[in-house]
């Protein structure tokens, strides 16, 4: 019997990412979509005619046992309240990033998860970017030697400020570039190198009319000796390399973005031929000066997140991500904000 999934939110996160990915995984069924906007309700019904489309999340809880998983893809300030309601109703939860607006809120959610004996899976989908999977593979294989520095950029050119809760300075909205793009980059390096020991950051608000940070640099010192340098920006008129990983034996450099988001926006799904495949011209380079060669990019596979969730729920397999991961990431974000405000390096364990 298929796992019945209820999706709360049908904006970009729900319609572009979660719904197509859920629907592409064997053994999962998109059973309900919650969205208030009439145009989004029409779009959901058209694309997923077998799903119930309702206007309020509280309509999900009327029939106990109706759903096997709830996915929270609503605005950030609703993540924890909706996840808590789902857990209280006895349903496991996927929560989009950032899981919470603060590490304290995420810890409170973890406490409820433990009491209820139900998992919460943070949607850290960028672990399944093809270029990141390639970098992780090269690091794990020893092809780079000991990694000295891991440089990662998620940059955009968006000079105009849009009206969105993502531009909010209200702490409950978890707005700004550090929570938005930084959540991805920080989670990736924590998955590779572990929780950092020290954090240094610079935050800027560059665009006319902007109030939340739209340009950031974060430097992390990991216990094993690796250093992560992370850039995120909405004001990059020219984009730097996506990854540059420097090791004792070789380096890996790749530019451009993983194709999955663009493919999903265009209506493709993991069921379509060519999904997640980066063209040869976008492959990175592996080696040393004068001896670098193209390194094929591993396929991107966002659908593997939900396939792993299904295995975890059905068979007790390890989860794809944990709340501990999300809490570590939020602690880094909070330390970065403090570092930028004070102009100082923050010892993460001394906070």
Question: What is the spatial distance between Cα 25 and Cα 23, in angstroms, rounded to a whole number?
Answer: 6
Indicate if 294 and 147 belong to the same structural domain. Answer: yes
Question: What is the spatial distance between Cα 28 and Cα 22, in angstroms, rounded to a whole number?
Answer: 6
For residue 20, pLDDT beyond 70 = yes
How many structural domains is the chain composed of?
2
Q: What is the pLDDT of residue 52?
A: 96
Task: State the average pLDDT for the chain.
Answer: 96
DSSP E strands, the chain = 3-8, 28-34, 52-54, 69-72, 93-96, 120-123, 147-155, 198-204, 215-221, 227-233, 243-247, 251-254, 284-287, 293-295, 346-347
Q: What is the pLDDT of residue 195?
A: 95
Question: Residue 313: inside a domain, yes or no?
Answer: no
**In which domain, by residue range, is 117 found?**
3-123
For residue 150, pLDDT beyond 80 = yes
pLDDT band at 121 (very low <50, low <70, confident <90, very high): very high
Indicate if 61 and 138 belong to the same structural domain. Answer: no
Cβ-contact 57, 34 below 8 angstroms:
yes
Indicate if 9 and 154 belong to the same structural domain. Answer: no
Question: Residue 321: inside a domain, yes or no?
Answer: no
Indicate if 168 and 270 belong to the same structural domain. Answer: yes
pLDDT band at 101 (very low <50, low <70, confident <90, very high): very high
Q: What is the pLDDT of residue 202?
A: 98
For residue 90, pLDDT beyond 90 = yes
Question: Residue 319: inside a domain, yes or no?
Answer: no
Q: Which CATH number characterizes residue 78's domain?
A: 3.40.50.720
Indicate if 35 and 59 belong to the same structural domain. Answer: yes
Indicate if 249 and 232 belong to the same structural domain. Answer: yes
Phi, psi of 342 (to 5 degrees): -100, -15
pLDDT digits (tens, 9 = 90+) for 68-83: 999 999 999 999 999 9
Question: Residue 154: inside a domain, yes or no?
Answer: yes
Of residues 221, 238, 222, 242, the one with CA closest to residue 151: 242
Question: Residue 323: inside a domain, yes or no?
Answer: no
Question: What is the spatial distance between Cα 111 and Cα 335, in angstroms, rounded to a whole number?
Answer: 22
pLDDT digits (tens, 9 = 90+) for 28-56: 999 999 999 999 999 999 999 999 999 99
Question: Model's pTM, two decimal places?
Answer: 0.96
Cis peptide, bond prior to residue 98, ω within 30 of zero = yes
Indicate if 283 and 211 belong to the same structural domain. Answer: yes
Question: Residue 32: inside a domain, yes or no?
Answer: yes
pLDDT band at 351 (very low <50, low <70, confident <90, very high): low
Indicate if 190 and 243 belong to the same structural domain. Answer: yes
Question: Residue 242: inside a domain, yes or no?
Answer: yes
SS (H, E, C) 129-164: CHHHHHHHHHHHHCCCCCEEEEEEEEECECCCCCCC
Q: What is the pLDDT of residue 169?
A: 86
pLDDT digits (tens, 9 = 90+) for 275-316: 999 999 999 999 999 999 999 999 999 999 999 999 999 999
What's the rounded mean pLDDT across residues 173-184? Answer: 95
Q: What is the pLDDT of residue 335?
A: 98
pLDDT band at 333 (very low <50, low <70, confident <90, very high): very high
Lowest mean pLDDT among 154-158, 163-167, 186-190, 252-256: 163-167
Indicate if 111 and 161 belong to the same structural domain. Answer: no
Indicate if 7 and 112 belong to the same structural domain. Answer: yes
């Amino acid at each position: 019997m298929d796992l019945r999934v209820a999706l709360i939110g049908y904006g970009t996160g729900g319609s572009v990412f979660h719904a197509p990915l859920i629907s592409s995984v064997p053994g999962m069924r998109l059973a309900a979509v919650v969205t208030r906007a009439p145009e989004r309700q029409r779009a959901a019904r058209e694309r997923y005619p077998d799903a119930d489309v309702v206007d309020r999340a509280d309509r999900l809880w009327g029939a106990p046992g109706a759903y096997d998983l709830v996915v929270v893809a609503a605005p950030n300030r609703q993540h924890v309240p909706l996840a808590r309601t789902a857990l209280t109703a006895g349903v496991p939860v996927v929560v989009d990033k950032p899981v919470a607006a603060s590490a304290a809120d995420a810890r409170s959610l973890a406490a409820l998860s433990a009491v209820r004996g139900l998992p919460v899976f943070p949607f850290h989908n960028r672990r399944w970017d093809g270029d990141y999977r390639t970098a992780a593979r090269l690091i794990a294989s020893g092809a780079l030697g000991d990694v000295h520095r891991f440089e990662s950029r998620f940059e955009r050119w968006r000079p105009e400020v849009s009206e969105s809760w993502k531009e909010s300075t209200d702490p409950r909205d978890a707005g700004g570039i550090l929570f938005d793009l930084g959540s991805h980059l920080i989670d990736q390096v924590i998955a590779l190198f572990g929780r950092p020991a020290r954090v240094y950051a610079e935050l800027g608000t560059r665009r006319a009319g902007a109030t939340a940070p739209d340009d950031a640099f974060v430097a992390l010192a990991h216990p094993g000796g690796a250093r992560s340098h992370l850039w995120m920006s909405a004001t990059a008129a020219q984009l730097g390399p996506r990854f540059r990983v420097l090791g004792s034996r070789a380096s890996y450099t790749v530019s451009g973005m993983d194709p999955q988001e663009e493919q999903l926006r265009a209506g493709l799904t993991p069921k379509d031929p060519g999904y997640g495949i980066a063209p040869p011209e976008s492959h990175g380079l592996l080696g040393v000066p004068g001896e670098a060669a193209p390194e094929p990019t591993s396929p991107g596979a966002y659908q593997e997140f939900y396939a792993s969730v299904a295995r975890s729920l059905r068979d007790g397999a390890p989860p794809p991500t944990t709340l501990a991961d999300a809490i570590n990431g939020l602690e880094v974000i909070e330390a970065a904000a403090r570092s930028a405000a004070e102009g100082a390096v923050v010892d993460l364990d001394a906070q």
